[in-house]
């Protein structure tokens, strides 16, 4: 699913992990976070320069994200065309798609 727009609260965040990409032949950094709103929760994957943008308790808005299945789990990603905005501790709203 593409064009995902969501506002949610960050409820957990892993430490930065490293993986070697066989596609780009480079070392990548990633963080897995759990975010939730009044409709449920989902894993959020952040890569490289995105990994330090959020903290537990932040309310974030994601624009033009995407959802994919990875090993049977739905994950939200931002990708190259998406945007993440930290809004502080504002109230949360529901998931919508464009």
pLDDT tens for each residue of the chain, 98 residues long: 888 899 999 999 999 899 998 998 999 999 999 999 999 999 999 988 888 889 999 999 999 999 999 999 899 999 888 999 998 765 555 555 55
Dist. CA 98–CA 96, nearest whole Å: 7
pTM of the model: 0.79
The residue segments making up the domain with residue 80 are 2-97
Counting the structural domains of the chain, the total is: 1
Per-residue model confidence (pLDDT) at position 81: 87
What is the distance between the terminal CA atoms of the chain, rounded to a whole angstrom? 10
We report the CATH number of the domain holding residue 66 as 2.40.50.140
What sign does the dihedral 58-61-65-71 (CA atoms) show? Answer: positive
């Amino acid at each position: 699913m593409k064009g995902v727009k969501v506002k949610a609260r960050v409820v957990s965040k892993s430490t930065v992990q490293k993986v070697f990409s066989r596609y780009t032949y480079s070392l990548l950094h990633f963080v897995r976070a759990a975010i939730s709103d009044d409709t449920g929760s989902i894993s959020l994957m952040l890569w490289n320069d995105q990994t330090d943008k959020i903290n537990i308790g932040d309310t974030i808005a994601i624009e033009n994200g995407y959802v994919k299945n990875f090993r049977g789990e739905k994950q939200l990603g931002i990708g190259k065309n998406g945007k993440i905005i930290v809004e502080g501790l504002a109230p949360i709203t529901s998931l919508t798609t464009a």
